[in-house]
Amino acid sequence: MVSHMTALSPTEWFAMMQLYAEYDAVVDAAHWERWVQLFTDDCIYRVQPRENFDRGLPLATLSLEGKGMLLDRVFGIRETLFHDPYYQRHVTGPPLVTKVTAEAIELSVNYSVFRTKLSQPTTVFNVGRTIDVVVNTANGLRFSRREFIYDSELIPNSMIYPI
């Protein structure tokens, strides 16, 4: 069979799948230091309602530019932002590779995040798709951009942890 226009090598594909798998494992285990490490220094991390994205409105629910802001978010949720403890759980589909250049790979993935509060039923917390740019670094693949465009515009009270 013919190969896809924007094909990744088997090795690249495997590495990419591991990056996505590790991302989900890390945020769901609340390993925030590791979460930061999965991004490049000048990364963009955004969580934006689909409505704003579709209408070209710039506001995001969470918009972090560069590792410093990611570290500040980690400090914020650990030290200053009072909240109910909860588990989150990501389940994501296969990434769609939209562009491959020498420098970067552009992908998009459908995701679901489930929230479980202590001794309460599990609920659907947030679903949507991502707009990702992955680059290769000395430490392996890293996200230089990760935008979560979410369908779940009516947030069930609050979003404390990065998704």
Cβ atoms 124, 118 nearer than 8 A? no
For tokens 């599990």, the residue is 122
Residues lying near a copy of itself in the complex (CB under 8 A): 1-4, 6-15, 17-18, 20-22, 24-25, 28, 50, 87, 89-97, 108-112, 114, 116, 118-124, 126-129, 136, 140-141, 151-154, 156
**H or E element: which one contains 81?**
none
Amino acid letter, residue 85: P
Chosen residue from 3, 11, 58, 101 binding another protein by CB under 8 A:
58
- Picked from another protein, a copy of itself, none, the partner binding residue 110 (CB below 5 to 8 A depending on kind) is a copy of itself
* Euclidean distance between CA atoms 148 and 157, whole angstroms: 18
Quick one: CA dihedral 91, 97, 99, 103, positive or negative?
Answer: positive
- Minimum Å gap between C-beta 88 and another protein is 13
Q: What are the tokens at 58?
A: 């710039």
- Tell me if 81 contacts another protein by CB under 8 A: yes
Q: Is 41 in the site for another protein (CB under 8 A)?
A: no
Binder among 1, 79, 101, 139 for another protein (CB under 8 A): 79
